[in-house]
Structure 1
Amino acid sequence: MVTRHGIKLAVYLISSYFGDLVSKVCECLLRRGTLSYANIIRFTELNKVQVRNALLVLIQHNCVQAFAIQQDGGFGEAPKIVTQYMALFDNIIHHMRFPKFLAIASEEFGKECEEILEGLLQHGRLSLNQILDRHKETSHQSEGNHTAQDALQQHFSKLINSRFVERCPAHEPFLAPPVEEETTVKKRGAKSAKVMEESQTIEQRALEAAAPMEALRFLVESHAETDDHGQVNEENPTGMTAGEKVGSELDTEGANKRKKEVLWRANFEEFVRRLRHKACIENVRTRLDDGTAIVLRAILDATRSAEVKVKLEESVPLSMNTIFEEVIKNEEGRTMTLEHVRAALVQLGCHLPAIGIDETYSIDLKSIIELAQNEEVESIVLRRYGREAYRMFRLLSKAGHLLETDKISDSTFVEKKDTAKILFKLWKDDYLHMEKVVTYGIKQSQFLLWKVNKRTLWEHVLDEMYHAALNLRLRIAHEQEQEKEILQLQREQLVGELAKRYRRWRKVRIVLESSLMKLDDAIMLFHDF
């Protein structure tokens, strides 16, 4: 869900990290969608070198994915292969979450793993040798210190095994022409044809084609090699067929070195999954109690330790024995009995079967997220419009269908005149959907019906959050610019009025950054979870 202010926030992030030229190319892709190299040059009005370098930076930092498609040539010309580039909005926004990702890795594996991950987040993608070289530079390690290198490789393996780090996708997958795909589908039968009709967008297909096979995604090989990553290709010469290697203007140097080491990057998907689990646990703790949160955390931990991929909608089914074993691993769970665990499962929405061999449970994570989303929007309405508006909004949100003004007034114990004013205010700010119904009889009457359209409202709320996040980042940058002279001084030079200004800046920064982190939690709730 890419909204208007979401694009503005993404462009600002790229501009603050990589400069205006790179952000201009990124903005062009975000606003216009997937484009060829020639079209990027045309729309941005930058020269070839500037666009090429900007794309290289964006690909290096996992913000753009390239893919090749076949296009028909002109009259009497053979088809040609053209490289397309698409911006990865989610990966750009994830730059705000790097401190959260580092905190997760540090909490689970310690400082050494955090430093490896920090290098990957800073540089986008690195080979194992580059990670080793970077560690030597930062730790001033001697060239022949094999013990330190072995330890670093062990830490790297921990990150791989926990799925915090993955192989980079293919730099430029080739998507077969639709005609070829239709022929293949016909051979497979009508069922496959139906699936093809509901097929993904070309961008989704490109991401799937670029993703490494699951068997290779987290595989570390001692001498693994792959094709060059991060190439930026122009349209190929006329006459190139679909199966040929796409040409690249970056191949002018090192043409004989076609093989390079496997490149690795942070696996954003796994970090988002961990943050989703944390959000579910904290929501259950706040809404229900600590015991239920302990049981939910145990279930989610058990699925991780079993290395089972959890679906977004629900957790993997687990037996009561497995759940209880996981609960008593933690000190706070050792006071719980089987009955306590069963009671917690009931609170989590599980239907308890008759006790026996098939006593398995799964948690509906989707419903927990939906409850959290409802609570977040209700809290916004309460803060912005007051308690009476909150009661009306909550009534309509739970009803899920159209209600008439008088019915809302009677149910919330608010005067009809005030009810109409509040409802109009919420409607004007896009928090409610309104429909007018006119009845004809002896006397013509008009009724106003109201409801909460969650799909459009959630998008509106998310866009407001992106807007607020952008404003916070701009305010942080403004405050830093205002006090840049003080920030350049040594600590011993900060005395008197300078010390006061420094303390004030520090307090302001802490408040703004903590507000931004909390706001990002809400953004993830509506966009990533």
Structure 2
Amino acid sequence: MLTPPSQHGIKLAVNLISAYFGDIVAKVCECLLRKGTLPLAQIIHFTELSKQNAVNSLLVLIQHNCVQAFATQSEGRFGGAPRISTQYMALFHNIIHHMRFPKFIAIVNEELGKECEEIFVWLLQDGRLSVNDIVERQKEPSRNSTASDALHECFRKLVNAQYVERCPAHEPFLAPPTEEETAAKKRAAKFTKTVEDTIEARALAEASPMDSVRFLLETDTWTDDPEQKSNDNSSNLASAGEKRKLDALESETKLWATNQKKEVLWRVNFEEFVRRLRHKSCIENVRARLDSGAATVLGAVLEATRRTETKVKVESSVPLSIDDIMQEVIKSEEGRTMNSDRVRASLAQLGCDMPSITGIDETYSIDLKKILELAQIREVESIVLKRYGKEASRIFKLLLQADRVVETEMISKDTFVDKKDAAKILHRMWKDDYLHLQVMEKDKGKQKYLLWAVKKPVLWQHILDDMYHAALNLRLRSAFEQEKDKEIAQLPREKREGELGKRFDRWMKIRLVLESSLMKLDDAILLFNDF
């Protein structure tokens, strides 16, 4: 999760921040993405911005869940008292999620309805809101009046579905490890190969609310009593922005999990949406690779175990008995035509040949990691086929299946590709970083053999960076087309006739093609980066 983003990933993230919040905020964001976690003084130094502009930009990024602050302790100079400093870290994945807002909105609309969608959109727009902020937003003259009880019920549905969560701690303090903890880590390092947690990972873990309160909705935090509301609307994040900026200048920053009235602030739970998209991707890939019956069974298993998953990236589904699976399968229209034998056959297709017996129940667990790995391989094979042709696709599949180094002549024989043509294809793919080359010498260097292999982790990262690059190009092209034809886009309906009508239709087609291409590309980015 906290691996450094690639160069094109950083450029895409900066482009998204620039489009949403402007170039000054994007400059601070780029500094944190490229330089890593920094204190305010170094951010000002690297960006050459004024202190006020730097702080204001950080507040915007924190408000929209793109930056997390945390406090650390360091030794004082010349034997003085320990110093507490505030550090800022960019949340790359949260920034990229801005590109997926339409997908998140569609999920909420489909599952919870239009009223819940409206509240959800406010949270996407403002980043963090309290329940009373939402009530105030609904009372604006430009909006249709909705009863407070109905509004609270919609918000409760969002929380119960875990689409909304409490904001993390505003500025967690990371205490330096004790001597006992340091010694224990050194002893453990001798026997294990686990990588020590980074300070950024520790900060995120410390900031995250406990599971017991993460989705806890306290009804006494709601109120419509005007006497309990501040006259200056201090609970409204937008109207209180200037005061908070001034407060921030006094002590570097005021990052909060509650607002000035100590009301709980809420934000969108990106993790739950990534999980839902991950499940959808698994189901659709199984449908394409196997059949609709296997996809129906997988969907039923994932729906039955969704609440019991504790992480987005789980390798296998939670074990379920055959009776529980059948109960979930028959809830869908497709599943009502399936009997227990058909369900067992579908489970076998999904890799559950040998059920485990727990007591008197037979239980099944589906290997989700394998499903996603096969989907990644299909995606890469499709890219190789389009980019290098059929012969290259056969060579690439051979090397993937071999999972070891293979000599050029052997590749030529096994793929029925002429040796000279195979050598040209292999060198072309190697230059594009799709293959790994190893040269082996014999007879004191008189004979040389070229050995080829696919290094999946390295190749997957390379392909992901290419996807970021393509997504950035699509966004830049979309922005160019909108700027070029902005007058056409603003034409009233009655004037869309003749030549102007043709130009408007062309603009709409280009826009739809670019947006749909970007959404499909993002599906692939999710597959390689988030799932």
Normalization by structure 1: what TM-score? 0.90
Instruction: Work out the CA distance in 1 between the residues paired with 2:268 and 2:260.
Output: 24
Contact 1:82 1:235 in 2 (8 A): no
Q: Structure 2 vs 1, CA of residues 262 and 166 (structure 1 numbering), >3 Å: closer, same or farther?
A: same
Corresponding residue of 2:106:
103
Instruction: Work out the CA distance in 2 between the residues paired with 1:287 and 1:196.
Output: 36
Give 1:9's match in structure 2, choosing from 5, 8, 12. Answer: 12
Instruction: Work out the CA distance in 1 between the residues paired with 2:356 and 2:529.
Output: 39
Residue 386 (str. 1) matches residue 383 (str. 2): no
Contact 1:163 1:267 in 2 (8 A): yes
Residue 168 (str. 1) matches residue 170 (str. 2): no
Corresponding residue of 1:50:
53
Corresponding residue of 1:90:
93
Amino acid at match of 2:39: S
Corresponding residue of 2:229:
none
Residue 250 of structure 1 and its aligned partner are, at CA, apart by 5.7
Residue 207 (str. 1) matches residue 200 (str. 2): no
Residue 183 (str. 1) matches residue 180 (str. 2): yes
Q: Structure 2 vs 1, CA of residues 199 and 505 (structure 1 numbering), >3 Å: closer, same or farther?
A: same
Q: Structure 2 vs 1, CA of residues 310 and 471 (structure 1 numbering), >3 Å: closer, same or farther?
A: closer
3-state DSSP of counterpart to 1:349: coil
Instruction: For residues 109-159 of structure 1, give each alpha carbon's deviation from its aligned partner in whole angstroms, at most 9, with x where no partner exists.
Output: 1111111111101111111111111122276355xx7xx111111111111
Q: Calculate percent identity across the aligned residue pairs.
A: 63
Corresponding residue of 1:254:
none
Contact 2:73 2:82 in 1 (8 A): yes
Contact 1:22 1:57 in 2 (8 A): yes
Corresponding residue of 2:442:
439
Corresponding residue of 1:343:
345
Instruction: Work out the CA distance in 2 between the residues paired with 1:42 and 1:22.
Output: 15
Equivalent residues in 2 for 1:43-82 (5 A)? 43-82=46-85
Residue 61 of structure 1 and its aligned partner are, at CA, apart by 0.3
Corresponding residue of 2:526:
524
Contact 2:322 2:361 in 1 (8 A): no
Give 2:509's match in structure 1, choosing from 502, 507, 525. Answer: 507
Corresponding residue of 2:232:
none
Q: Structure 2 vs 1, CA of residues 404 and 201 (structure 1 numbering), >3 Å: closer, same or farther?
A: same
Instruction: Work out the CA distance in 2 between the residues paired with 1:272 and 1:487.
Output: 33
3-state DSSP of counterpart to 1:75: helix
Q: Name the stretch that deviates more: 449-458 or 494-503.
A: 494-503
When the two structures are aligned, how many residues end up with a matched partner? 506
Normalization by structure 2: what TM-score? 0.90
3-state DSSP of counterpart to 1:511: helix
Instruction: Work out the CA distance in 2 between the residues paired with 1:115 and 1:61.
Output: 18
Residue 489 (str. 1) matches residue 491 (str. 2): yes
Contact 1:69 1:176 in 2 (8 A): yes
Corresponding residue of 2:296:
294
Amino acid at match of 2:461: E
Instruction: For residues 73-105 of structure 1, give each alpha carbon's deviation from its aligned partner in whole angstroms, at most 9, with x where no partner exists.
Output: 211422110000000000000000000001111
Corresponding residue of 1:465:
467
Corresponding residue of 1:329:
331
Instruction: Work out the CA distance in 2 between the residues paired with 1:351 and 1:528.
Output: 29
Q: Structure 2 vs 1, CA of residues 347 and 187 (structure 1 numbering), >3 Å: closer, same or farther?
A: closer
Q: Structure 2: where are the runs of 5+ without partners? A: 223-234
3-state DSSP of counterpart to 1:137: coil
Corresponding residue of 2:34:
31
Equivalent residues in 2 for 1:358-397 (5 A)? 358-397=361-400
Residue 221 of structure 1 and its aligned partner are, at CA, apart by 1.1
Contact 1:70 1:80 in 2 (8 A): yes
Amino acid at match of 2:266: W
Amino acid at match of 1:318: L
Residue 233 of structure 1 and its aligned partner are, at CA, apart by 11
Instruction: Work out the CA distance in 2 between the residues paired with 1:261 and 1:77.
Output: 38
Instruction: For residues 49-69 of structure 1, give each alpha carbon's deviation from its aligned partner in whole angstroms, at most 9, with x where no partner exists.
Output: 000100000000000000000
Q: Structure 2 vs 1, CA of residues 234 and 305 (structure 1 numbering), >3 Å: closer, same or farther?
A: closer
Corresponding residue of 1:19:
22
Q: Structure 1: where are the runs of 5+ without partners? A: 237-246, 252-256
3-state DSSP of counterpart to 1:260: coil
Contact 1:33 1:86 in 2 (8 A): yes
Residue 187 of structure 1 and its aligned partner are, at CA, apart by 8.1
Amino acid at match of 1:167: R
Q: Name the stretch that deviates more: 187-196 or 318-327.
A: 187-196
Contact 1:41 1:47 in 2 (8 A): yes
Q: Structure 2 vs 1, CA of residues 197 and 185 (structure 1 numbering), >3 Å: closer, same or farther?
A: farther
3-state DSSP of counterpart to 1:206: helix
Q: Structure 2 vs 1, CA of residues 267 and 471 (structure 1 numbering), >3 Å: closer, same or farther?
A: same
Contact 1:409 1:419 in 2 (8 A): yes
Contact 2:28 2:47 in 1 (8 A): yes
Corresponding residue of 1:216:
213
Q: Structure 2 vs 1, CA of residues 501 and 258 (structure 1 numbering), >3 Å: closer, same or farther?
A: closer
Instruction: Work out the CA distance in 2 between the residues paired with 1:448 and 1:80.
Output: 57
Corresponding residue of 1:422:
425
Instruction: Work out the CA distance in 1 between the residues paired with 2:496 and 2:313.
Output: 53
3-state DSSP of counterpart to 2:77: coil
Instruction: For residues 234-293 of structure 1, give each alpha carbon's deviation from its aligned partner in whole angstroms, at most 9, with x where no partner exists.
Output: 999xxxxxxxxxx83567xxxxx9652100000000000000000000000000000000
3-state DSSP of counterpart to 1:437: strand
Instruction: Work out the CA distance in 2 between the residues paired with 1:449 and 1:508.
Output: 45
Instruction: Work out the CA distance in 1 between the residues paired with 2:449 and 2:486.
Output: 59
3-state DSSP of counterpart to 1:170: coil
3-state DSSP of counterpart to 1:62: coil
Residue 183 of structure 1 and its aligned partner are, at CA, apart by 2.7
Give 1:317's match in structure 2, choosing from 316, 319, 325. Answer: 319
Residue 331 of structure 1 and its aligned partner are, at CA, apart by 1.1
3-state DSSP of counterpart to 2:334: helix
3-state DSSP of counterpart to 1:523: helix
Contact 1:281 1:296 in 2 (8 A): yes
